[in-house]
Amino acid sequence: MDLLVDTMCGGIVAYCRLCGHDTVFAADEELEADDEIRALVEADNRTLITRDRELGHSVSDALVLEHRDTQRQLEAIAVAGIDLTPTAVPRYCGRCNGSLECVGDDQQLPDYVPAEFAGSIWRCVDCHQHFWKGSHWDRMTETLEEIRQRVSE
């Protein structure tokens, strides 16, 4: 899905991207005025995720979240039917929402990639951040699994 996440819901952004949703974060784009947010929702056909009830009710497609807590917000998103299953191959950069490309074996890696890591590594075409399925990916995946389980019970 194509999402626009409002400033007050920043904790969920990386999770949505991990699950293959094209997720614009309002704070990254410096979208502050309701009019600017409304314009992008309509122009891109995005689903707005916000805690601002008034704003949510003024666009055609919005999910209004009640909670501040990231886990509770993710639960509400799952309940609303937005799939929170991580994609096998990551598609969007968790940092900037750019597209990811697979890094070949012959290419140089930045120092923050563990040298012993043997699996696939991806790089953002926009900000050049590298991603791999390490402990951070495992933790996020586990969190999402717990949430999907809670919601399905």
Could you say which of 93, 100, 121, 144 contacts Zn ion (CB under 5 A)? Answer: 93
Compute the distance between CA of residue 128 and CA of residue 23 in angstroms, rounded to an integer: 18
Give the pair of three-digit tokens for residue 138. Answer: 């495992």
Bridge partners for 4 per DSSP: 24, 48
The number of residues that bind Zn ion (CB under 5 A) is: 8
CB 63 within 8 A of CB 49: yes
Q: Is 95 in the site for Zn ion (CB under 5 A)?
A: yes
CB 47 within 8 A of CB 4: yes
Q: Which stretch binds Zn ion (CB under 5 A): 53-61, 62-70, 91-99, 113-121?
A: 91-99
Q: Is 79 in the site for Zn ion (CB under 5 A)?
A: no
Give the pair of three-digit tokens for residue 120. Answer: 């696939």
Q: Is 100 in the site for Zn ion (CB under 5 A)?
A: no
* Closest CB to Zn ion among residues 91, 95: 95
Chain residues in the site for Zn ion (CB under 5 A): 93, 95-96, 98, 124, 126-127, 129
